[in-house]
Structure 1
Amino acid sequence: MQQRSNEKDTEVNFWAQQVFNKIKKKIPAEIKRVSTGIPYIPVNGYYEDEGNRNITWWTNGFWAGILWQLYHATGTKYYRTYAQYTEKRLDDAFANFMGLDHDIGFMWQHTAVADYRLTKNKRSMARGLHAANLLNGRYNPVGKFIKACNPDESGKRNGWVIIDSMMNLSLLYWARDLTGDLRFDYIARTHANTVMNNHVRTDGSVNYICIFNPKNGELLKTLGGQGYGTGSSWSRGQAWAIYGFALSYLHTKDEKYLDTSRRAAHYFLANIEQSNYYSLVDFRAPKDPGQFDSSASAIAACGLLEISKHVPELEQQVYINAAVKILKNLDKNYADYDVDTDGIITNGSVKNNPNQPKADRIIYADYFYIEGILRLLGKDFSIW
């Protein structure tokens, strides 16, 4: 049995290394085209500069995250150089404060915090702490939640909390560890508790948006948001829950977060097994026409690999094997390693929309795919 396990590990490692070799050819070719730009979704096969369009856009850190992961894995300095271009450009996002929302973590975790962790750059530390304090400032102490959105013209959305928020809490845990300031810990944990108690259903599925009364914290209603509708099961939200609660366990060692992550993971796996380990956009949407989302698959794979680090040894392979199946599926069916086009993972969906093109390449799908491959090789570092 042990020999069979070792053979399987060797096979997975060989496959992942082959994928990594392709990534190491693809990303440098993209750097030549992107230069100091910030990619999001390719247009006619090539990235445009999202930083010029909207410097406060929530995905603007993922390109740097890819580059920092590759810098750590290879030691090649130009990855670091171009990652730092994005970090410096995001200073303009601080200046455009009104456009920022709860995804501050996504933006500066992959830029300033990653930079500080790998280089001990003091300017990066300051940027990361600035971002963490901005995220703290969105906290509602009555409702014990971090508000997701900025209010619209009518003053609404002050009580909106979105499942994606779980991934942003790592910024607060990092600031806690760096400064010893327990405000960061309190806000992260109480927000996580609110999400756990309201977004995560008893079967492990999740609500995308919960709307609370900002004056007393009462749950008013839930919304489907980017999923099919209220009560549905948006797969990327499910993936955020898997990974986000696993990360809260990593940073707190509070068992209830690991249990919540596992419950969300088991629901995800029960559904993804029905579609050859590739995720529908929404697990409770009508099957015709079926829509898929490669980004949900990639995010979930990373979350499953994180869970595997924290469960008993005999349970680990459940999560590792599932993650490998997901990543192999993406590699075989939805990966484009052509160095003359931008974006690796195809067939992503921003939201549940039957009229949306099915072959979107989205920067965060590439980030999580690359992180997953590097995790299997033991070459990743903890951006989170």
Structure 2
Amino acid sequence: MNKIKLVLALVIFISFTALKTKDDDFVKRSFDAATPLYTSLLNLTGDNFKNYPHSFLPNGTVKYYQIDEWTGGFWPGSLWYIYEFTREEKWKIAALKWTNSLESNQFNDKHHDIGFMMYCSYGNALRFDNNPKYQQILVQSAKTLTKRYSPIVGSIQSWNQRKSKGDINTWEYPVIMDNMMNLELLFYASKVTKDDTYKNIAIKHAEQTMKNHLRTDYGSYHVINYDPKTGKVLHKQTLQGFSDESNWARGQAWGIYGFTTTYRETKDKRFLKTAVKMADFFLDHPNLPADGIPYWDFNVGQAGYKPDWNFDPNRFKTTPRDASAAAIASSAMLELSTFLNGKQKEKYYNAAVKMLKSLSTDQYLNTDKANPYFLLKHSTGNLPSGREIDVPLIYADYYFLEGLLRYQKLKK
């Protein structure tokens, strides 16, 4: 009898081990694909710390952004994630170099994206190198970000005053959904300084975003234009989506991620409810493809949605996807699942894993060397402006790698 039990136990153990190994293969496969690509990109960039890899152009060259542009932090952040998975010192050395190259951005008050730039780089650096200087840089970055906050509007201004899409209106005080991603920097600053000023600004901004960016079905607008003198909403637009009333996929993903983070830092159930409802909109939308990787806009080409730009439906053989939206949403939903129980927990966890596995297939993962440097294919940056359509994007890589690591930690 004891022998039978022992045999059964061994069979169960071997089966479980085989299943677990098979299930985790997509994580290793993705990081294995990333390391030679990023080695090539490091060799290409060298120590030129003025140009930060952003995308890959149709002419076969890398598109770079300068140090003050919004995506600079994703390159060192991705290097930190490679180091976290491999524990190879060369990746840590590269990540430190590129992180430190961003130091002057702690004073960059030209736009709201300092959270992306500094927390994705220095925030990750602190997890592996507890350098007090990094904490000081992040606190100064948070101080700089608060300069763009208006207590009258109750929000952090995203862009400076400018003409809107099609020159229909002037954005007096534009606030975009992406801005939710910069709040984590403010929460961090309050924790380390014991000064609630940063946290209070973040909470107020999130409240205003809940109030004005969301529709009744928890779809979202991209841009809200406020009157800086009164705080009144002047008009609402979806700049990078199909139409102002349609639902831009990456904007929805930013919202899921940002409100999940805000709930983590506040434990305010209003923010959890918002993250859940926005995730439900994303996952339950009838126009979400079977593999979970959304089109660049959920409503593109659908009846009732009229673009105010020259959209030619015959321009593309198939409607462009946005792998970056799936990467952001999957990483967010993994964390969201940890705050829930039962069927809700399973829904977001399983959906996130499905998206990550889809992104790890040859359709999206750059295993065929479609480009020499970036990991994910088929992202869409700004289709209405004709920019970055069906290309790799550094922030797609960043959130994909983050999601893979979050999955791996949850499995453990």
Q: What TM-score, normalized to structure 2?
A: 0.83
Are 1:243 and 2:254 counterparts?
A: no
Shift in CA distance, 257/305, structure 1 to aligned 2, threshold 3 Å: same
Go from structure 1 to structure 2 and tell me whether the alpha carbon gap of 1:157 and 1:118 turns closer, same or farther (over 3 Å shift). Answer: farther
The verdict on how the C-alpha distance between 1:357 and 1:91 changes in structure 2, with shifts beyond 3 A counting, is closer
Root mean square deviation, CA, Å? 2.7
Structure 2 match to 1:217 = 231
Which of 113, 129, 134 is residue 123 of structure 2 equivalent to?
113
Q: Percent identity?
A: 30
Larger strand share, 1 or 2: 2
Aligned partners of 2:179, 2:331: CA distance in 1, in Å? 17
Q: Partners of 2:19 and 2:337 in 1: how far apart?
A: 17
Question: Aligned residue for 1:103?
Answer: 113
Q: Partners of 1:39 and 1:294 in 2: how far apart?
A: 18
Question: Which one of the candidate residues 374, 380, 384 is aligned to 2:405?
Answer: 374
Provide the residue aligned with 2:332 in structure 1.
Answer: 303
Tell me which structure has the larger Cα radius of gyration.
2
Which of 148, 152, 157 matches 1:147? 157
Q: Of 40, 62, 82, which aligns to 1:70?
A: 82
- After superposition, where does 1:342-381 map in structure 2 within 5 Å? 342-353=373-384, 358-378=389-409
Change (3 A) 1:73 1:379: farther
Residue from 282, 285, 291 that aligns with 2:300: 285
Q: RCO (CA 8 Å, sep 6+): is it higher in 1 or 2?
A: 1
Task: Tell whether the 8 Å contact from 1:26 to 1:337 is kept in structure 2 after alignment.
Answer: no
- Please state how far the C-alpha of 1:133 moved relative to its aligned partner: 0.5
Confirm or deny: 8 A CA contact 1:302 1:368 kept in the other structure: yes
Aligned match of 1:124? 134
Aligned AA for 2:295? L
Q: Find the aligned partners of 2:19 and 2:224 in 1 and give their Cα distance.
A: 42
For residue 29 of structure 1, what is the aligned residue in structure 2?
A: 40
SS of 2:296 mapped into structure 1? coil
Cross-structure match for 2:347: 318
Given the alignment of the two structures, is residue 16 of structure 1 paired with residue 47 of structure 2, yes or no?
Answer: no
- For 2:85 and 2:388, the matched residues in 1 are separated by 34
Aligned to 1:59: 71
**Structure with higher helix content:** 1
> Which runs of 5 or more structure 2 residues have no equivalent in the other structure?
1-11, 303-312
Displacement of 1:63 after TM fit? 0.6
Shift of 1:104: 0.7
Q: Deviations over 1:63-103 (max 9, x none)?
A: 111111222233222222222222332234456x46x3111
TM-score of the pair, normalised by structure 1: 0.89
CA 158–129 in structure 1, closer or farther in 2 if over 3 Å, else same: farther
Q: Structure 1 residue 275: deviation in Å?
A: 1.2
Contact 1:67 1:80 in 2 (8 A): yes
Aligned residue pairs total 374
CA shift in 2, pair 1:230/1:153, >3 Å:
closer
Residue pair 2:320, 2:390 contacting (<8 A) in 1 also: no
Shift of 1:22: 2.6
For 1:262 and 1:111, how far apart are their aligned partners in 2?
28
CA offset at residue 315 of structure 1? Answer: 2.6
- Label 1:138 to 1:272 Cα distance change in 2 as closer, same or farther (>3 A): farther
Is the Cα–Cα contact under 8 Å of residues 242 and 265 in structure 1 kept in the other structure? yes
How far does residue 379 in structure 1 lie from its aligned partner after superposition? 8.6
Larger mean Cα displacement after TM superposition, 178-187 or 336-345:
336-345
1:36/1:215 Cα in 2 relative to 1: closer, same or farther (>3 Å)? Answer: same
Shift, 1:153, TM fit = 9.3
Residue of structure 2 in register with 1:166 after alignment:
180
Is 2:381–2:388's contact at 8 Å kept on the other side of the alignment? no
Pair 354,165 (structure 1): closer, same or farther in 2 beyond 3 Å: closer
CA distance in 1, matches of 2:189, 2:239: 30
TM-superposed CA distance for 1:5, in Å, is: 9.9
